[in-house]
Structure 1
Amino acid sequence: MSELIRDTVFGHFVRLITSGRMLQYAEERDPTLWKQYLDREQTKNMALYGNAEGPPSEEKLERDDARVSSEESSKTWVGNGDQQEQQEHQLSSTITGQRIDTEKGRDITMVTWYGDNDPEMPLNWSTFKKVFVTFEICLLTFSVYIGSAIYSAGTQDVVKQFGVSEVKATLGLTLFVAGYGIGPMIWAPMSEIPQIGRNPIYIGTLIVFVIFQVPTALAVNFAMLLCFRFLTGFIGSPVLATGGASIGDIFAPKKRAYAIGIWGIAAVCGPVMGPLVGGFAAQAKGWTWTIWELMWLCGFSLVLFIFLLPETSSSNILYRRTRRLRKLTGIQSLKCQPEIMAEHMTGKDVVLIALVRPITLNFKEPIVFLLNLYIALIYGLLYIWFESFPLVFEGIYHFELGEEGLAFLGILVGAILVIPPFFYYLYRVVEPQFNENGELQPEKRLPPAFVGGFCIPICLFWFGWSARPSIHWIMPIIGSSFFSFGTFLLFNSVLNYLPDAYPEYAASVLAGNDFMRSSFGAGFPLFATAMYNNLGIAWASSTLGFLSIAFIPIPFVLYRVSNSFPRFGTAKKI
């Protein structure tokens, strides 16, 4: 438990006020342990070539080795008495005892992990710690995602209180969705900067998110309500993209799909439970109580995360280790690879990374763009289809506002039912395809999308044509479960494919995905009511079904093209 708390906000505060005497790290408890964190090979490369990777070519390596071989001294760096003192002096300049290349070498001693089993490396955390952190990421995702749909339960009260049309009242939903589509474009790349990490982004934005619920609920006019709905969506958005990156931090690719699947269920639960939780509150107390509920839920989550959410970014963990070692040893030449990569990064560079990288990945990589477009369409269909639920279950089946929220449970049940067969598929089909290095061709993640693509039109046709007074209300609810099958399989295929294809930029590439799907989710509800009123439930749902059919070939085509041309869509340095 102390290891779990040590890297939390509370843990850092305790270490600060006790000057590091409590919740100590291993190297603080054992002052001799620090030498085991040093990487001799990377240090040699820094001395000879000025980078940790080594020479740019084999020819260059041979030429440099021939030139430097005569300059090598003893490579033994642990001794006794005067010899030990001399070797430790050499260590402060280069671990190999070699002279530093005066042209391009650097006087840097590289810090790395304590072997492949280093307990501080997130991939080596205990199963309990990984499961608990995954639960926290899922809770944070649910807490933010529910903020969109929970508002929709009070839309009619907003119409009455502010004297606006129903379409304008819907802007409170769409602006929130637009906010959490734009936010990750900034927050997610920032979380990849070693000096920042994931936790400051999560905790800092969540604090503001909770505070901003107060002026939202107390809005004195419609413009103020819309302004704060957008701001809360924007501020609360990091986990919607970075959550997947955090899960990727702690699970190896072979097991990551299981955790991403659970995270996907948490994302589905938000929009599904929002009308249910908000419906009864809005029916009893008005629309403001939906916002207060959101504040209480996120406030509870915030307290939990302050005490129990550790940092998951391996780059940030290694960076902070290096800072501690410099302080403990007084050797200022100790540095780690993430620190070296970021040391020349200016404020302008940070802004460019935050704004340009997600857009570049999204619009210049064909596979990324097409998959994001498909997911965006499904997300837009989800939100426009949700707008038909009041027309069906209140207008046709005469449900009350709170009871209408129960109709969304069919979607949740569908999401739960699809997990066992999907996990079985991962275990029996996907895992055996990993090579001995734990690697998998990213396109092997796409086959579940082949099935998921057909489930979406099945749901829309079933729901649209069974929603009539002569047919029991359970039939459209059963039909709605197919949307869960489709979205779960499509989202998990894409959200596992993207980090596999772009492991170094997982948060950025997922931010681009979130931006596109949220853009569609924000715009589609604005014309939902008019479309369903003009076309009717059956034909409006069928129109959406035909649109989803047009996109079914995308994963098939991308899979075929990727297998025929392996270099197509391969991740590049951005």
Structure 2
Amino acid sequence: MTELMRDTVFGHFVRLITKQRYFQYAEERDPKLWKQYLDRKQTRNMALHGNTNGPSADDNSEKEIINTPSDVSSDARVGGEEHEQQLSSTITGQVIDPEKGRDVTMVTWFGDNDPENPINWSTFKKVFVTFEICLLTFSVYIGSAIYTAGIEDVIQTFGVSQVKATLGLTLFVAGYGLGPMIWAPMSEIPQIGRNPVYIGTLIVFVIFQVPTALAVNFAMLLCFRFLTGFIGSPVLATGGASISDMFEPKKRAYAIGIWGIAAVCGPVLGPLVGGFAAQAKGWTWTIWELMWLCGFSLILFIFFLPETSSTNILYRRTRRLRKLTGIQTLRCQPEIMAEHMTGKEVVLIALIRPITLNLEPIVFLLNLYIALIYGLLYIWFESFPIVFVGIYGFNLGQEGLAFVGILVGAILVIPPFFLYLYKVVEPQFNEKGELQPEKRLPPAFVGAFCIPICLFWFGWSAHAGPNLSWIMPIIGSSFFSFGTFLLFNSVLNYLPDAYPEYAASVLAGNDFMRSSFGAGFPLFAAAMYNNLGVAWASSTLGFLSIAFIPIPFVLYKYGAQIRKKSKNARQDI
């Protein structure tokens, strides 16, 4: 528990006010341990070639490598005479090339089992942090659909049309689609990490629920709905990157699967959680419920959410070692990569990288497919009042219960999917723990057909009206869970595997595209279902989903060839 809390907001605050007397790191308890964190191979490359990777392809010069004793001098200090006399060698005793070399001593993990590296955390710590990421995802995602329960009250309170009232939903979704384009790349900067982005934005998200609920006019309501979606959005893209920080590729799909369930539960349970409250107290209570849920989550995360970014953890270790030893030449790989970047370049990378990655053929096709599914989800949700209130006579609270079929479907698909991962996917990993990214796609073959099955089943069973039990369209709705779960998990595992260095950015682009569709589709949902009827409106969406079925099949066959033509994608497997 001490290790869990040490890297949290609370832990850093305690360390600050006690001057590092509590929640100490291993090297602070035993000052001699700092030597084991030095990477002599990277230090040698820096001393001879000026980079950590060794000589470049066009470097034909061969220099005699002279190594002084490799034992590190514990008395070495910046500013002393001894340091002045040894400018020709690093702290580890490696001679520096006077033309290309740099006097830099590299800091890294002390081995494959370094407990501070998130990939080596205990199972309990990984499971608990994954639960927190899922809770944060659920807490934000529910903010979109929980509002829909109070739309009728919004119409009456502000005297607006149904389409205008729906803007409270679409602007929130648009906000959390745009937000990760900034927040996700920011979380990849070693000096920042993921926690400041999560906690900082969540604080503002909770505070902004107050003016949302107390909005005195419709424009104020819409403004704060967009702002809350934008501010609360980081985990919707970066959550997958946080999970990738902790789990090796062979086991990551299990955690991503659970995270996917949390993402589904938000929009699905929103109408249920908000339905009875809106029916009894009005639309404002849906916002207060959102604030209470996120406020509880915020308190939990302040005390128990540790940093998961390995680059940030290594960066902070290097800073501690510089302070402990006084050796200012200590550096880590993330610092070396970022030290020549100006603030302007960092901002440009943060803003442009998700967009440029989104233009790559693989990313664009998969993001477009997921965006379509997400748009269909939100437009299809708008049919639930028409079906269950208009046809079956449910009240507002009971209508929310109709969404439980989607949740049940999501839960039922987990066991066979996990069995498939264990029996089929895991044996395909090589001895290095690597898997060709395209091997992640077969579950999408099944998921692609489940979406049209759901839409046809739901539409035509609802078309039969009271002559057919209300349970039939609810059973049909469960197939949407099968489809979205299998498609989302295939894509959210494939993209980080194909673009491992830019996981957060590529997932941010995915979130942006799907949220754009999710924001736009509900605006014409009511008109579409009223004009075409439930059966043909749902069938139209079903035919549209059929047109996208070939995408995972095409990428499974040709994805590796396409990746080899990309400068950003992984090409070695």
| Match in the other structure for 1:74 | 68
Counterpart of 2:461 (choices 448, 461, 466) is 466
State the distance in 1 between where 2:565 and 2:408 align.
38
Counterpart of 1:446 (choices 441, 444, 447) is 441
- Contact 2:72–2:92 under 8 Å retained in 1: no
Question: Offset at 1:95?
Answer: 4.3
Q: Secondary structure at the match of 1:418?
A: helix
2:44 corresponds to which letter in structure 1?
K
Matches within 5 A, 1:77-476: 77-78=71-72, 93-363=89-359, 365-467=360-462, 468-476=465-473
Q: Secondary structure at the match of 2:182?
A: helix
Question: Offset at 1:100?
Answer: 1.6
Q: Secondary structure at the match of 1:104?
A: coil
- Contact 2:563–2:569 under 8 Å retained in 1: no
Q: Which has the larger displacement, 294-303 or 338-347?
A: 338-347
| Match in the other structure for 1:495 | 492
1:224 corresponds to which letter in structure 2?
M
- Contact 2:138–2:266 under 8 Å retained in 1: yes
State the distance in 2 between where 1:440 and 1:290 align.
44
1:427 corresponds to which letter in structure 2?
Y
State the distance in 2 between where 1:500 and 1:563 align.
12
* Percent identity of paired positions between Structure 1 and Structure 2: 84
1:513 corresponds to which letter in structure 2?
N
Question: Offset at 1:571?
Answer: 3.7
Question: Offset at 1:87?
Answer: 10
1:105 corresponds to which letter in structure 2?
G
1:241 corresponds to which letter in structure 2?
A
State the distance in 2 between where 1:295 and 1:89 align.
62
Question: Offset at 1:311?
Answer: 0.1
Output one character per residue of 1:374-423: Cα deviation in whole Å (capped at 9) or x when no partner: 00000000000000000000000000000000000000000000000000
1:382 corresponds to which letter in structure 2?
L
- Contact 2:183–2:234 under 8 Å retained in 1: yes
1:471 corresponds to which letter in structure 2?
L
Question: Offset at 1:108?
Answer: 0.6
| Match in the other structure for 2:516 | 519
Question: Offset at 1:529?
Answer: 0.1
Question: Offset at 1:99?
Answer: 2.8
2:36 corresponds to which letter in structure 1?
Q
Q: Which has the larger displacement, 508-517 or 99-108?
A: 99-108
| Match in the other structure for 1:479 | 476
Question: Offset at 1:350?
Answer: 1.8
State the distance in 2 between where 1:313 and 1:221 align.
42
State the distance in 1 between where 2:88 and 2:212 align.
56
- Contact 1:366–1:569 under 8 Å retained in 2: no
- Are residues 291 and 92 of structure 1, via their aligned partners in 2, closer, same or farther at CA, if it must alter by over 3 Å? farther
State the distance in 1 between where 2:190 and 2:298 align.
23
Aligned pairs, number: 565
- Are residues 77 and 390 of structure 1, via their aligned partners in 2, closer, same or farther at CA, if it must alter by over 3 Å? same
Q: Secondary structure at the match of 1:335?
A: strand
State the distance in 2 between where 1:73 and 1:452 align.
59
| Match in the other structure for 1:28 | 28
Output one character per residue of 1:42-79: Cα deviation in whole Å (capped at 9) or x when no partner: 0011111111111112x736x23xx233xx24233257
Q: Secondary structure at the match of 2:106?
A: strand
- Contact 2:105–2:330 under 8 Å retained in 1: yes
State the distance in 2 between where 1:117 and 1:386 align.
47
Question: Offset at 1:339?
Answer: 1.0
Q: Secondary structure at the match of 1:395?
A: helix
- Contact 2:72–2:93 under 8 Å retained in 1: no
1:536 corresponds to which letter in structure 2?
G
Output one character per residue of 1:93-121: Cα deviation in whole Å (capped at 9) or x when no partner: 51452332222211110000011100000
TM-score (norm 2): 0.96
Structure 1: runs of 5+ lacking an equivalent: none
Output one character per residue of 1:143-197: Cα deviation in whole Å (capped at 9) or x when no partner: 0000000000000000000000000000000000000000000000000000000
Q: Secondary structure at the match of 2:204?
A: helix
| Match in the other structure for 2:553 | 556
Output one character per residue of 1:297-328: Cα deviation in whole Å (capped at 9) or x when no partner: 00000000000000000000000000000000
Question: Offset at 1:572?
Answer: 4.0
2:59 corresponds to which letter in structure 1?
K
State the distance in 2 between where 1:93 and 1:486 align.
60
Q: Secondary structure at the match of 1:437?
A: coil
- Are residues 210 and 564 of structure 1, via their aligned partners in 2, closer, same or farther at CA, if it must alter by over 3 Å? closer
State the distance in 2 between where 1:234 and 1:471 align.
42
State the distance in 1 between where 2:432 and 2:171 align.
44
State the distance in 1 between where 2:75 and 2:186 align.
47
Q: Secondary structure at the match of 1:242?
A: helix
| Match in the other structure for 1:540 | 537
TM-score (norm 1): 0.96
Q: Which has the larger displacement, 42-51 or 129-138?
A: 42-51
1:46 corresponds to which letter in structure 2?
M
- Contact 1:373–1:516 under 8 Å retained in 2: yes
State the distance in 2 between where 1:477 and 1:88 align.
77
State the distance in 2 between where 1:81 and 1:209 align.
50
Calculate the aligned-residue CA RMSD, in Å: 1.9
| Match in the other structure for 1:60 | 59
- Contact 1:93–1:109 under 8 Å retained in 2: no
| Match in the other structure for 1:530 | 527
2:455 corresponds to which letter in structure 1?
L
- Contact 1:396–1:469 under 8 Å retained in 2: yes
1:551 corresponds to which letter in structure 2?
F
State the distance in 1 between where 2:6 and 2:437 align.
35
State the distance in 1 between where 2:431 and 2:485 align.
29
Give the 4+ runs in structure 1 shifted more than 6 A.
Answer: 79-82, 85-89
Question: Offset at 1:296?
Answer: 0.2
Question: Offset at 1:570?
Answer: 7.3
